[in-house]
């Protein structure tokens, strides 16, 4: 049998504090109770305070282990020595003067592995062969030298190379294009194909050379992910696992006070957690152009949004299993719209709206703005995080108010 | 007791747990509908830039050409990779240029733009000269790895346009990329680019969830073992039941994705079979978790831990190329590290089967199933 427990404030007893003071005292006792619970739950305590800095340190040591850039495997298919018929002059040529220098440039470009060179004049199935290599994943790109390449360069016309990169791994696509362009630049330089059109790139807000660039670039994603992930895992069971809710509700403590005490307790834990993460990050070589205190504030804001979502899940779920299932559902959506796989700017409007309703979309830019650009904490990203947290806090209070007390 | 009776019992148990079933069938449907209804977007973004030209600035007493900067600006305006955010800034003296540059650097700092393109004062002179380097100055946000890595290749396009517009094609060597195995423009880009990652994660996660409590939550184990049912039969019946449910989940995913325009270069049947394989691996891992866990709480925590670990190290998220070789080897056998290439090789490349991924996934499933049998064999029977 289930019954709804009235969620009204108990009347104060004579000689005892009443009203707001009594409520605050009850919350304080609730906070103490929460800390006792946390202290007895050693695995959760480890998860809260040891695992986050450990992840940062582990990640840092992994990133410093090796920073070898990936090798791009290329097969060159040359049609350059095929017969070229110039429709303007009716001259037939088989000029391929620039093929060997180009292949040499590809061979000489660091980070490119020339897997095969196939002369299509000798092998009519050259492109099929290269295409199969690409489809099977044994190369990352095909570079095609067209039939008119050498003739055009000789005549002062554009020499157009065709690159066919594999787009299966979108994360590697830019690297492939960069390497092929690097080879083309080297070819032009080696063969004095002047004038050169140079882009003189000045990088602003770069990470100083003494810091690990890979580690620092990835920390913008890792830090929000760790903060939200750990606080979520930490809090998804805090309400739902409380068996003595009926007994608690016989005390003057009401549901809102129970939830407030949990929020206070886990915010205090979050304070320690954020500090530990900040210290571990700095010790691991995180470059902070802005203020460390701002970064700490950002970690707090991101972590609290995780706490609020976790509390909401815990207040909503009826069983621990259900809480875990809801966690999974939230985690999937959080992860998919975080901008890790598809840039948020590249998402269609409806998905972008969903992405901005979750903390990871704001966490990474906020941390980036503080660490690399030296901007202050106060920003629209912080405001968004606060609004998200407020919304989930409100939802968690609604959920717990509607919660039936088991008998 | 034969296996069919155990399977019937398992179906009854799962049918009673309606929330798990809802999760299994609702999450993929929801995600596919969201991604399926979205049009536009995709994995690429354009560079938002501001252009400052100093070409009109007097560079010396003898020559002062400024005929080519407008063509260069036109090339940027017609570019398919650059978007000009503000108007063109034409600066004719050093002081105003410095102010303008600082204002734009501030925009760069606040992520309003991705880069500042400066056409230098001697641009037209260098073009006219014909032998010296023609330089464009580019300020990029060095903290944005994606922009700073891509800017050099991206700028080749407006430079090539400029040379064509100006008839300066002599010695122009350019690389034109033709993206192979991409999702065609007419297919749903968002859904199809997301499919291998999203669906692999959902299949693995929900199937792990389906079975991660299947053994540990069974209180009457002792009583069951008084019946003729052996432990192997008990585990096998769970595998069969979960597989049957997973089959319907895969069919649901396949149908909804098909309705929203799933694109596959390879045979569709292989996409479906891959989904089943990924689901099977999830089921086996879930059974293993359930077999080694002493309480439901431990099972839930292990499930979350395994899932996060598989997701983080799936080789599509963190740069595993920078990891030490032993860790690369470990992550290479994680389920998602193989599930995503398996699906994408069929869907994008049209490869019949990525043999390595197929065997690693199959072996992973089998290994976890055997480990589950071993763990269950040693599991203490409560009195």
A7 in any annotated domain: no
CA distances from B168 to B30, B158, B189 (A): 54, 13, 37
A13 in any annotated domain: no
Q: Which of A157, A190, A223 is the last residue of a domain?
A: A190
Q: Which of A134, A155, A190 is the last residue of a domain?
A: A190
Say if residue A160 is in the same domain as residue A244.
no
Q: How far apart are CA A274 and CA A295, in angstroms?
A: 9
Percentages of chain B per state (helix, strand, coil), in multiples of 5: 60, 10, 30
pLDDT value of position A116: 94
A139: helix, coil or strand?
Answer: coil
Strand A91-93 with A84-86, pairing? antiparallel
A309 in any annotated domain: yes
**pLDDT confidence band for A1 (50 / 70 / 90):** very low
In DSSP terms, which residues pair with A23 in a beta bridge?
A: none
Quick one: B62 exposed, middle or buried, by C-beta within 10 A (0-12, 13-18, 19+)? Answer: exposed
Average pLDDT for residues A271-293, to the nearest whole number? 94
A68-94 pLDDT, tens digit per residue, is 567 899 999 999 887 777 777 777 777
Q: Nearest CA to CA, how far is B8 from chain A (Å)?
A: 23
Residue A117 has pLDDT above 60, yes or no: yes
For chain A, what's the residue count? 407
Say if residue A324 is in the same domain as residue A376.
yes
How many beta-carbon contacts under 8 Å exist across A and B?
287
* Domain count along chain A: 2
pLDDT value of position A212: 83
**pLDDT confidence band for A391 (50 / 70 / 90):** very high
Say if residue A116 is in the same domain as residue A51.
no
Q: How far apart are CA A62 and CA A50, in angstroms?
A: 18
A384 in any annotated domain: yes
- Contact between residue B48 and residue B85 where contact means Cβ atoms under 8 Å apart: yes
A154-201 pLDDT, tens digit per residue, is 887 888 899 999 887 777 888 899 999 999 999 988 888 877 777 888
Q: How many angstroms separate the most distant Cα atoms in chain B?
A: 105
Residue A3 has pLDDT above 50, yes or no: no
Contact B153 A181 (CB under 8 A): yes
Six token digits for residue B292: 């080694």
**pLDDT confidence band for A311 (50 / 70 / 90):** very high
pLDDT value of position A68: 56
B111: helix, coil or strand?
Answer: coil
pLDDT value of position A4: 47
Using alpha carbons, select from A143, A112, A121 the residue that is nearest to residue B174.
Answer: A143
Structural domain of residue A142, as residue ranges?
A: 72-190
CATH number of the domain residue A162 falls in: 3.40.1710.10
A333 in any annotated domain: yes
Say if residue A31 is in the same domain as residue A84.
no
Q: How far apart are CA A108 and CA A102, in angstroms?
A: 10
**pLDDT confidence band for A124 (50 / 70 / 90):** confident
Q: According to the per-residue pLDDT averaged within each range, which of A24-28, A148-152, A286-290, B41-45 is highest?
A: A286-290
Six token digits for residue A40: 């007895």
The domain defined by B47-165 carries CATH number 3.30.70.20? no
- Contact between residue A277 and residue A53 where contact means Cβ atoms under 8 Å apart: yes
B123 contacts in chain A (CB < 8 Å): none
Strand B89-90 with A197-204, pairing? unpaired
Local mean pLDDT, 10-residue blocks, chain B (383 residues):
78 77 82 73 74 80 69 91 88 90 91 91 84 86 80 90 87 81 80 86 89 77 61 88 92 90 90 95 94 82 84 76 78 92 89 86 95 86 50
Residue in B closest to A198 by C-alpha: B135
A162 inside 8 A of chain B by CB:
yes
Say if residue A143 is in the same domain as residue A289.
no
Contact B155 A233 (CB under 8 A): no
B354 contacts in chain A (CB < 8 Å): 137
Residue in B closest to A321 by C-alpha: B300
Residue in A closest to B314 by C-alpha: A341
Residue A331 has pLDDT above 50, yes or no: yes
Q: According to the per-residue pLDDT averaged within each range, which of A4-13, A60-69, A259-268, A293-302 is highest?
A: A293-302
- Contact between residue A236 and residue A310 where contact means Cβ atoms under 8 Å apart: yes
Residue A223 has pLDDT above 80, yes or no: yes
Window from A112-121, A214-223, B309-318, B338-347 with minimum mean pLDDT:
B309-318
Say if residue A389 is in the same domain as residue A352.
yes
Handedness of CA B195, B196, B198, B204 (dihedral sign): positive
Say if residue A52 is in the same domain as residue A98.
no
Residue in B closest to A187 by C-alpha: B173
Using alpha carbons, select from A328, A77, A146, A263 the residue that is nearest to residue B28.
Answer: A328
The interface predicted TM-score of the complex, written ipTM, equals: 0.75
Say if residue A242 is in the same domain as residue A269.
yes
Angular region, B133: left φ>0, alpha ψ -120 to 50, beta rest: beta
Say if residue A223 is in the same domain as residue A288.
yes
Q: How far apart are CA B190 and CA B40, in angstroms?
A: 7
A194 inside 8 A of chain B by CB:
yes
Q: What angle do CA A108, A113, A114 make, to 5 degrees?
A: 85
Window from A145-159, A211-225, A267-281, B212-226 with minimum mean pLDDT:
B212-226
Q: Where are the domains of chain B?
A: 3-39+188-377, 47-165
Residues 6 or more apart from A207 whose CB is under 8 A from it? A213, A216, A217, A287, A372, B142, B143
Strand A197-204 with B134-141, pairing? parallel
Say if residue A183 is in the same domain as residue A246.
no
A402 against B105, higher pLDDT? B105
B43 contacts in chain A (CB < 8 Å): 170, 342-343, 346
B303 contacts in chain A (CB < 8 Å): 324
């Amino acid at each position: 049998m289930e019954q709804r427990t009235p969620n009204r404030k108990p009347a104060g007893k004579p000689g005892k504090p009443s009203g707001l003071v009594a409520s605050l005292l009850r919350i304080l006792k609730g906070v103490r109770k929460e800390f006792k619970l946390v202290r007895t739950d050693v695995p959760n305590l480890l998860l809260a305070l040891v695992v986050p800095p450990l992840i940062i340190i582990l990640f840092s040591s992994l990133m410093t282990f090796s920073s070898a850039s990936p090798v791009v495997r290329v097969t060159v298919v040359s049609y350059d020595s095929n017969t070229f018929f110039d429709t303007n002059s009716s001259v037939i040529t088989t000029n391929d003067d620039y093929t060997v220098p180009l292949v040499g440039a590809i061979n000489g470009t660091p980070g490119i592995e020339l897997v095969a060179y196939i002369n299509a004049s000798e092998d009519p199935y050259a492109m099929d062969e290269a295409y199969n290599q690409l489809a099977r994943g044994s190369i990352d790109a095909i570079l095609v030298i067209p039939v008119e390449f050498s003739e055009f360069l000789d005549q002062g016309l554009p020499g157009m190379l065709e690159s066919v990169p594999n787009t299966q791994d979108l994360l590697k696509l830019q690297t492939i294009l960069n390497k092929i362009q690097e080879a083309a630049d080297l070819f032009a330089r080696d063969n004095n194909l002047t004038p050169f059109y140079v882009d003189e790139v000045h990088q602003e807000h770069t990470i100083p050379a003494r810091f690990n660039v890979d580690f620092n670039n990835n920390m913008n994603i890792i830090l929000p992910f760790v903060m939200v992930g750990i606080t979520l895992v930490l809090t998804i069971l805090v309400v739902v696992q409380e068996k003595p809710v009926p007994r608690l509700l016989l005390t003057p403590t009401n549901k809102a006070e129970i939830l407030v005490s949990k929020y206070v307790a886990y915010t205090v834990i979050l304070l320690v957690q954020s500090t530990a993460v900040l210290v571990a990050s700095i010790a691991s070589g995180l470059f902070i152009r802005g203020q460390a205190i701002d970064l700490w504030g950002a970690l707090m804001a991101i972590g609290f949004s995780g706490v609020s979502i976790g509390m909401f899940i815990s207040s909503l779920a009826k069983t621990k299993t259900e809480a875990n299932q809801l966690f999974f559902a939230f985690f999937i959506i959080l992860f998919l719209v975080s901008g890790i796989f598809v840039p948020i700017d590249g998402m269609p409007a409806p998905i972008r709206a969903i992405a901005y309703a979750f903390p990871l979309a704001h966490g990474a830019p906020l941390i980036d703005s503080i660490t690399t650009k030296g901007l202050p904490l106060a920003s629209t990203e912080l405001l968004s995080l606060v609004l998200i947290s407020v919304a989930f806090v409100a939802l968690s209070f609604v959920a717990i108010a509607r919660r039936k007390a088991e008998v | 007791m034969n296996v069919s009776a155990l399977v019937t019992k398992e179906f009854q148990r799962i049918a009673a747990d309606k929330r798990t079933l809802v999760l299994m069938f609702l999450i993929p449907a929801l995600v596919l509908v969201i991604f399926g209804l979205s049009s536009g977007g995709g994995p690429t973004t354009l560079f938002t830039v501001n252009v400052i030209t100093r070409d009109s600035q007097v560079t010396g007493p003898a020559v002062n050409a400024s005929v080519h900067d407008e063509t260069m600006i036109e090339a940027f305006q017609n570019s398919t990779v650059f978007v000009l955010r503000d108007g063109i800034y034409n600066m004719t003296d050093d002081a105003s240029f410095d102010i303008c540059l600082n204002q734009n650097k501030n925009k760069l700092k606040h992520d309003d733009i991705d880069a500042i393109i400066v056409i230098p004062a001697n641009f037209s002179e260098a073009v006219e000269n014909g032998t010296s380097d023609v330089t464009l100055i580019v300020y990029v946000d060095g903290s944005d790895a994606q922009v700073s890595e891509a800017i050099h290749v991206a700028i080749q396009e407006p430079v090539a346009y400029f040379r064509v517009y100006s008839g300066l094609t002599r010695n122009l060597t350019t690389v034109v990329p033709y993206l192979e195995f991409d999702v065609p423009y007419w297919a749903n880009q968002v859904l199809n680019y997301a499919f291998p990652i999203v669906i692999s994660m959902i299949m693995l996660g929900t199937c792990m969830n389906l079975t991660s409590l299947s053994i540990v939550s069974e209180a009457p184990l002792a009583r069951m073992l008084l019946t003729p049912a052996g432990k192997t039969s008990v585990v096998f019946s769970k595998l069969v039941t979960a597989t049957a449910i997973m089959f319907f989940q895969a069919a649901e995913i396949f149908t909804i994705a098909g309705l929203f325009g799933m694109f596959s270069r390879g045979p569709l049947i292989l996409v479906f079979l891959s989904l089943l394989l990924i689901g099977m691996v999830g089921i086996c891992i879930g059974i293993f978790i359930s077999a080694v866990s002493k309480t439901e709480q431990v099972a839930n925590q292990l499930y979350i831990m395994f899932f996060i670990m598989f997701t983080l190290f799936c080789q599509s998220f963190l740069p595993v190329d920078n990891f030490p070789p032993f860790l690369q080897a470990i992550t290479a056998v994680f389920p998602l590290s193989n599930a995503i290439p398996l699906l994408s090789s069929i869907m994008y490349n049209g490869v019949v089967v990525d043999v390595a991924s197929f065997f690693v996934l199959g072996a992973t499933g089998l290994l976890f199933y055997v480990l589950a049998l071993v763990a269950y064999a040693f599991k203490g029977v409560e009195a």
